[in-house]
Amino acid sequence: MTDLSRQAPFGSRVEQLGYLVDDLDAAMAHWTGTLGAGPFFVLPERRFVELAHGGVACDEQMIAGVAMGQLGPVQIELIVPGGGPSTYHRFLGAGGRGLHHLGYIADDYVAARQEAVDGGLRIATEGRSQATRFCYIENEAALAEPCFELIEACDVINDVFAMVARAHAEWDGSEPVRYL
């Protein structure tokens, strides 16, 4: 088993912290007004080209709402879970709250995914959008604890993450919520 505690998982640093929230507007207000994160960009409804949870294909969407903002060097993703089966519902059902995942962008998605599996972790939810592949990687023995999200690097992902970081660096506190 790979000792992930002695090295940065997947050869990278954490790029994103993903939080599960009940109310996207209230969460954005807290993060911008109290914590100084932002501005937040509300993404349009996410439709995945492919989606599977526990190796079983899913038709339902796992996200009801999502917004991305920045706090210093780390992106903050606020997620309202949808109705479909997902790692979000497993986390909440196991008593987890708040921080759901640490997001990593992988230049070599296949190798990073295999590193996780070889390290004894489980691919919980996996999918593909129009731009990239992603998966949530869980420790089966710690479902109420944060997991990993592995995101395949591509121009679209790199551009969106850079845009959110740039907006934060230039942000004067106005327009704390924006729409993509």
pLDDT above 70 for 173: yes
Percentage of the chain exceeding pLDDT 70: 95
The whole-chain average pLDDT of the chain stands at 91
What domains does the chain contain, in order, with CATH numbers?
Answer: 12-170 (3.10.180.10)
Q: Are 130 and 155 in contact (CB under 8 A)?
A: no
Can you give the pLDDT at residue 1?
A: 41
pLDDT confidence tier of residue 4, bands split at 50, 70 and 90: very low
| Cis before 39 (ω within 30) | yes
pLDDT confidence tier of residue 2, bands split at 50, 70 and 90: very low
Q: How do residues 113-163 score in pLDDT, each as one tens digit?
A: 999 999 999 999 999 988 999 999 999 999 999 999 999 999 999 999 999
10, 95, 115, 139 from 5: Cα distances, Å = 12, 24, 13, 13
Q: How do residues 77-123 score in pLDDT, each as one tens digit?
A: 999 999 888 899 999 999 999 999 999 999 999 999 999 999 999 99
> Between 11 and 23, where is the model more confident?
23
